[in-house]
A and B are shown apart, each in its own frame.
Chain A
């Protein structure tokens, strides 16, 4: 929407001082957030931030490179189990463990990227779906991973107690700041990556992979790289997720989760970092909070419950929740193919010219 006059303007992270100022204000709000709300909302914010990291990574793959993945719950699981097990069995500080776990996930991403060179569309969807399910079953079968019973995340140790440096993050608020810093770094990292030669190569592959190859983009390298980067994001998100929930089993990382991740990216806006952030926040908030509590809304709640019992199944309110979530997706895909990012652009335009 904006006119770019030269290359350097195109690669700026903040397109104007206004954007920079608002970003700073938003940043201050995020850092003040835990002091403004109760513990429950901090937990919810933690889950949202974890999903933001994952959605930004998934968007690099789906939105920017044009490859589909129905297996991101698998990378998420590798991150969660990898981080928790590295910290349980080796005395390792969290940041090192989460980076190693992220790299393991990235390695698996690279492996999955190889068949992606030959598979497209639904075939790639099936291959990645198979990967996600396989990871779930392997973790469930091997006792090292705690089997199907699940495992506890260890204490979130940032230092090395053996060397007398110990810093344990044990409350939702402390974990919030850790996740917030990592999320900000990774979102900026994602935005930056898209402005480099690598990011432009991804976009070229999405628009036309043959044309991209003709222009000198090595498909083998960049497709697998896109999978690896995306999986790294999912792995880091998984590593943080482990400490947000503190207990998880393989079934946590099921197919539905992979689909929800994809929904976040599509609803937020394909090919937009901001869209991924908004999509993750909206879908998580709807799924975890608003749609769960509609039944207690005055008047409207009782009406919806009786409506659901009469016309849907016995489970009541949760029918409406699933229905609304699906409706939002359908409406966005039909009327706003750019997702929430598209809505955002239009709001911006509206205010720019307001009141005319």
Chain B
């Protein structure tokens, strides 16, 4: 019966392994004497895995805070969960974190669908959610008392970029190439509103594209024939790459302008085979090699704490998304409750870390309409063209 005994032990050990995660959470959700529990979901595996670096970036800031002794004596305990960009899994990891671990607040969170799936659940359970890593009007309009957005809205960004194109680049003929969904259409709206303010200027060509399209030669020819000097593209990385390569083969080289979603120059330059050089984009954080003292500090910390990570745009966006929450937690003081933290977040005015200036009020949870304008230099480096600029045409403020 030796075999049976061993089998019995194995079963016992397995049972113990299954039961361990069941340990009960603390009484006050997410906060106790020694720690504040903060979490983020993001695709670490699966087809959207490259965006997972956002969730890992936030960790650098929390580790830095903990090294300095935490916030009013409490260390931050940070959970990252892989949702594989699948909303069913986002709901699952969020419910698990809230109900079993007890989480005080969420930061970031890449997937739009995943965010929409958990938005109401988080509000019902009074869990704070700061800086979703997607710009969606549904997040911030109407105001959700527990959700604070700082990602610039796409129409604001397009409007600021268009102003730069018309006033600084002095372009007369502008084309617009957009993904046929809310993301692309928001960009188009922003550009059109801005152009209308210049004696009803209009686009010489506007062409929608489906994200799976692989042959863009007819679209690029239309842009070429329209004589566009500048083409704004509000598309995904694959489409942008195909567009640039196609244009190069037909001898069409306008000034390309794009949104911050394509501002990871090192990556874009690599996948376009160097064609990304010279492209202008919006940006929601300082350039990765900026000598801003905060940036230097974070860069050094990342090198020390997580040397194998690439210091790219999305990684440092994770830091930028977490900064306002840390600021609010510091403002609250030692008596930390969800209500006190909400008050602190609602009183954040002109706070600036490595992202744009953020202001939240009880009746306004979209924190900013500012972007920087950057240009891809040689070897995927970032050149700052224009510092933080807000959209004077924004209608929501």
Contacts and interface: CB of A to CB of B under 8 A. Distances in A.
Given A245-B87, A249-B112, A315-B56, A38 B1 contact: no
B147 to A, nearest CB: 15
Interface string A294-324: 0011100000000001000111101101100
A47 B92 contact: yes
Interface stretch (B43-51, B164-172, B262-270): B43-51
Interface string A186-228: 0000000000000000000000000000000000000000000
B99 A38 contact: yes
A137 B92 contact: no
A252 B100 contact: no
A176 B308 CA distance: 44
Contacts of A40: 92, 95-96, 98-100
A187 to B, nearest CB: 21
A248 B87 contact: yes
B20 A288 contact: no
A241 B92 CA distance: 13
Interface stretch (B78-86, B250-258, B281-289, B372-380): B78-86
Contacts of B53: 314
B264 to A, nearest CB: 16
A129 to B, nearest CB: 15
B347 interface: no
Interface in A120-177: 137, 140-141, 147-150, 152
A150 B52 contact: no
Interface string A238-256: 0001001111110110101
Contacts of A315: 44-45, 49, 52, 56, 82
A165 B138 CA distance: 32
A314 B306 CA distance: 8
B87 A309 contact: no
Interface string B68-112: 000000000001111011111101110110111100000000001
B303 to A, nearest CB: 13
Contact of A149 (B1, B49, B182): B182
Interface residues of B, number: 46
A247 B89 contact: no
Given A141-B210, A309-B308, A315-B49, A44 B117 contact: no
Given A141-B180, A292-B93, A247 B116 contact: yes
Which of A147, A241, A256, A293 lies at the interface centre, i.e. has the most chain B CB atoms within 10 A of its CB?
A293
B363 interface: no
A322 to B, nearest CB: 5
A251 B111 CA distance: 10
A150 B112 CA distance: 9
Q: Which of A44, A47, A288, A313 has the most CB of B within 10 A?
A: A288
A293 B93 CA distance: 9
A222 B46 CA distance: 36
A12 interface: no
Residue among B52, B79, B88, B120 having the largest count of chain A Cβ atoms under 10 Å: B88
B82 A318 contact: yes
A40 B101 CA distance: 11
B86 A257 contact: yes
Contacts of A44: 92
A9 interface: no
Contacts of B212: 137
Contacts of B89: 287-288
B309 interface: yes
A321 B82 contact: yes
Contacts of A298: 20
18 contacts: A38-B100, A137-B210, A148-B182, A150-B112, A150-B116, A246-B120, A247-B113, A248-B117, A249-B87, A252-B86, A254-B47, A256-B84, A257-B86, A290-B21, A292-B82, A293-B96, A309-B308, A315-B52
Given A256-B47, A314-B306, 14 more contacts: A40-B98, A44-B92, A47-B88, A140-B181, A150-B112, A251-B85, A252-B113, A289-B21, A292-B96, A296-B101, A309-B308, A315-B52, A315-B82, A319-B45
Interface of A: 38-40, 43-44, 47, 137, 140-141, 147-150, 152, 241, 244-249, 251-252, 254, 256-257, 287-290, 292-293, 296-298, 309, 313-316, 318-319, 321-322, 355
Q: Which 8 residue pairs spanning A and B have beta carbons closest together? A: A247-B117, A249-B113, A318-B44, A40-B99, A315-B44, A318-B82, A148-B181, A40-B95
